[in-house]
Amino acid sequence: MGKLDEKKSILSILVDNKPGVLSRIVGLFSGRGFNIESLCVAETTDPLVSRITIVTSGESRVLEQIKKQLNKLINVIKVMDFTDLAFVQGEMALVKVRAKSEHRAEILRTVDIFKARVVDASPEYYIVEIIGDDSKIDAFLSLVKPMGIKEIARTGTIALAREKK
Amino acid sequence: MKLTGAQIIMKALQEEGVDTIFGFPGGAVLDIYDALVKTDLRHVLVRHEQGAVHAADGYARASGKVGVCLVTSGPGATNTVTGIASAYMDSVPLVVFTGQVPTALIGNDAFQEVDIVGITRPCTKHNYLVKDVEELERTIREAFFIARSGRPGPVLIDLPKDLVQAKTSNRPIKEVRLRSYHPTYEPNSKQLPKVVKLLKEAKRPLVFTGGGVILSKASEELRRFVAKIHAPVTSTLMGLGGFPASDPLWLGMIGMHGTYRANMSSGECDLLIAIGVRFDDRVTGRTDAFAPNAKIVHIDIDPTSIRKNIPVTVPIVGDCRITLEKLNALLETEDLGNIKEKRRPWLDQIEEWKSTMPLDYEQSDVIKPQFVVEKLYELTRGEAIITTEVGQNQMWAAQYYHFDRPNCFITSGGLGCMGFGFPAAIGAQIACPDKLVIDIAGDGSIQMNIQEMATAVQYNLPVKVAILNNGYLGMVRQWQELFYDRCYAHTEMSCAPDFVKLAEAYGAVGLRATKPEEVEGIIKEALSVQRPVIMDFQVEKEECVYPMVPAGEPITEMLLV
């Protein structure tokens, strides 16, 4: 169980799109004993800038220190913490699930309920693509787990702040 | 006109105002050395790359300029890591150039290849691997800008051999602008009146300063500030000299080996104004018991230092000098009443602590190390630049040599790096050829970079080394005595060189004192020669540094004898 003050935080970090920048960020977390729960990185519309989305958790004092330390890195352009903002988040997972003939219908029904889709099918397995927040993906996984999950690939969370309406 | 990468480096260095480079050549940097000897830049050949970085550190801190080193790839580069880490912890502006194997061989485990950018990522302010000669000049200019601005620190530039050989047209860089790097110098104006309010309310304020005061050249403003608020002042090890030790409001150093009155003041104060400090554990002791009754104002240019270890009432991100300037201007308009009268009970209390528990030792028929430091202070009239190694020698230097001016005490504070003091003294002597530079050393520490005596002799640097020779790794032995039932596991250095003969072997002067009455004579003799000197003081073997706060205890709970 976490400490009382411990909370999860989604950080969206704009950085210079240069070699070694990701390793500076990751090195900062490991070197200072901060935890990374998930991490996504890709180029933005500006090819000189990448966006890194990190889900981390800690006491508020630790989270404040994480943000300050990130801001201190020369290649970090901006750090946004979505904790107290309106934001949308998503994650994608590919799930290779055992598809015995007696389970196929149920799997497809579950896929349908979760608005996921089967992207590959073989005599033994389906590969299902599912998009949503992490709790949705967790819920889907718990339902198909009894059939037998062979492999999972998850992207980790990506997020963007909502604009004012 | 086309220039080679090596020529571009020389041009950029000269434009950055560099006049001295500390280095050690090797295969990967031969082109740079070839270009270097064709300029009027001064190169100081050290005997070990660690010495180059410490020397550049001492040079930077004594001169206020950026220190520069040049070393080769692989082992040359890895040998700099300790020096870089020390400079990083103490926020010293350095630019370190390392050679690298040709671009095509990077990642192939080539001869003398090492990923120095990867290795030094956590202990540099920033670092670069330059892969395109077109980027070279911009990178160097950025490196100097980053090293000296904001909270200063070391920046490393890794230079593949083919890059320094490549040619390009010279396009001067007019201005360095970094999209993502904008240090905050100006304090938030809303925070300053809060400090004034707290100052008016406070009955027992304490000013607590650190290396940031020296780095931001804030000593003069600090003196004005203290004169206005008439509050006592203590400092960290790194802050010594930031406030004059001869001032009646000076309490001495705080922390693990701080004075009784400084440590007790931190326990009793109701307002702590921390300026350019980072609340190191050697200062705070147990953090929840540090300044337990005080509201805390913390001024620092580095936001990560604020609230990292200690909760703060008024955080102020800004340059120490600018912030103090603005605070002083604000205080000009305020009526603080009869401040001297108001402070009297607090200062009387401090005076009582001082008189009941002064810094003290008993001189017997064996030389006490404190006596040597006191004599050094007396005979140099406090005007020397003092560097130290690390351990007991460092603490006695901090306690018994009194610093009235900034940039006169050069020590590895954050990293606590043995072997620092002597090469740092060489760097300081080169920066300040007219000043007296003394390295206060232990017999253990000095042996870590003793080879730099050859550098001192080669360049006719009249650096003095005062070895407080107790035949032990003294500080570790002290911990073993106090906390490990006197089990002196591997701290006795039973085989040490004859330091007098060693000095002579290098072509320096060696002197030895074995009795207290010899101390003054050999210091005078050392000061009278314009050559490097080793003074070997055979001191009390089991002398301890007091006061001492056991690690993790409140700093008000000191061992006094």
Q: How much is the average pLDDT of B442-450?
A: 97
Contact A72 B121 (CB under 8 A): no
Contact between B271 and B295 (Cβ < 8 Å): yes
Contact between A53 and A10 (Cβ < 8 Å): yes
Contact A24 B308 (CB under 8 A): no
| Closest CB to B180 among A16, A61, A65 | A16
- For B243, which DSSP code? S
Q: How far apart are CA B135 and CA B8, in angstroms?
A: 11
Say what the alpha-carbon torsion angle B484, B486, B489, B493 is, to the nearest 10 degrees.
140
Q: Is a pLDDT exceeding 80 seen at residue A2?
A: no
Which pLDDT does position B1 carry in this prediction?
Answer: 82
Residue in the block written with tokens 């998930």: A38
ipTM: 0.89
Q: How far apart are CA A49 and CA A67, in angstroms?
A: 19
Percent of chain B at pLDDT exceeding 70:
100
- Tell me the Cα Rg of chain B: 24
Q: Is a pLDDT exceeding 60 seen at residue A14?
A: yes
What residue in B sits closest to A78 (Cα-Cα)?
B180
Q: How much is the average pLDDT of B319-323?
A: 98
Q: How far apart are CA B24 and CA B48, in angstroms?
A: 7
Residue in the block written with tokens 């080669």: B458
Across the A:B interface, residue pairs with CB atoms under 8 Å apart total 36
- Nearest CA among A156, A134, A146 for reference residue A110: A146
Which pLDDT does position A1 carry in this prediction?
Answer: 42
Burial label, A88 (beta-carbon count in 10 A; 0-12, 13-18, 19+): exposed
Express each pLDDT in B5-33 by its tens digit.
Answer: 999 999 999 999 999 999 999 999 999 99
Chain B residue numbers touching A61 (CB-CB < 8 A): 307
B222 Rama class: left (phi>0) / alpha (psi -120 to 50) / beta = alpha
Confidence tier at A156 by pLDDT (50, 70, 90): very high
Strands A76-81 and A7-16 turn out to be antiparallel
Q: Which of A17, A52, A72, A77 to mutate to test the interface with B (most CBs of B within 10 A)?
A: A72
Average pLDDT score, chain B:
96
Contact between B482 and B550 (Cβ < 8 Å): yes
- Tell me the Cα Rg of chain A: 19
Which of helix, strand or coil describes residue B364?
coil
The 10 Å Cβ neighbour count of residue A124 is 11
Q: Which of A34, A46, A68, A71 to mutate to test the interface with B (most CBs of B within 10 A)?
A: A68
Express each pLDDT in A79-110 by its tens digit.
Answer: 999 988 899 999 999 999 999 999 999 999 99
Q: How much is the average pLDDT of B221-237?
A: 98
Which residues of A fall below an 8 Å CB-CB distance to B?
Answer: 15-16, 20, 23-24, 27-28, 31, 61, 64-65, 68-69, 71-72, 74-78
Q: How far apart are CA B163 and CA A111, in angstroms?
A: 56
Q: Is a pLDDT exceeding 50 seen at residue B216?
A: yes
Chain A residue numbers touching B302 (CB-CB < 8 A): 72
Strands A149-154 and A87-98 turn out to be antiparallel
Contact between B468 and B369 (Cβ < 8 Å): yes
Q: How much is the average pLDDT of B333-361?
A: 94
The 10 Å Cβ neighbour count of residue B553 is 15
Q: Which of B119, B179, B302 to mutate to test the interface with A (most CBs of A within 10 A)?
A: B179
Q: How far apart are CA B99 and CA B80, in angstroms?
A: 12
Q: Where are the alpha helices (DSSP H) in B111-233?
A: 116-120, 136-148, 161-165, 192-201, 211-215, 219-229
> Is B117 touching A (CB cutoff 8 A)?
yes
Q: Is a pLDDT exceeding 90 seen at residue B249?
A: yes
Contact between B210 and B240 (Cβ < 8 Å): no
Q: How far apart are CA B11 and CA B136, in angstroms?
A: 11
Contact between B216 and B318 (Cβ < 8 Å): no
Which pLDDT does position B525 carry in this prediction?
Answer: 98
What residue in B sits closest to A62 (Cα-Cα)?
B308
**φ, ψ of residue B298 in degrees (nearest 5):** -125, 115
User: ∠ at Cα A70 (A68, A71), nearest 5°?
Assistant: 65
Chain A residue numbers touching B179 (CB-CB < 8 A): 16, 77
Contact between B170 and B8 (Cβ < 8 Å): yes
Instruction: Quote the minimal CA–CA distance from A74 to chain B in Å.
Output: 6
Q: How much is the average pLDDT of B526-536?
A: 98
Confidence tier at B250 by pLDDT (50, 70, 90): very high
Confidence tier at A4 by pLDDT (50, 70, 90): low
Chain A residue numbers touching B122 (CB-CB < 8 A): 27-28, 31
Contact A20 B117 (CB under 8 A): yes
Contact B179 A65 (CB under 8 A): no
* Angle, helix B49-63 to helix B81-89, in steps of 10 degrees: 30
> Is B181 touching A (CB cutoff 8 A)?
yes
Confidence tier at A3 by pLDDT (50, 70, 90): low
Q: How much is the average pLDDT of B281-305?
A: 96
Burial label, B78 (beta-carbon count in 10 A; 0-12, 13-18, 19+): middle
Strands B167-169 and B2-4 turn out to be antiparallel
Confidence tier at B175 by pLDDT (50, 70, 90): confident
Mean pLDDT lowest for which of A118-127, B40-49, B166-175?
B166-175
**φ, ψ of residue B325 in degrees (nearest 5):** -55, -45
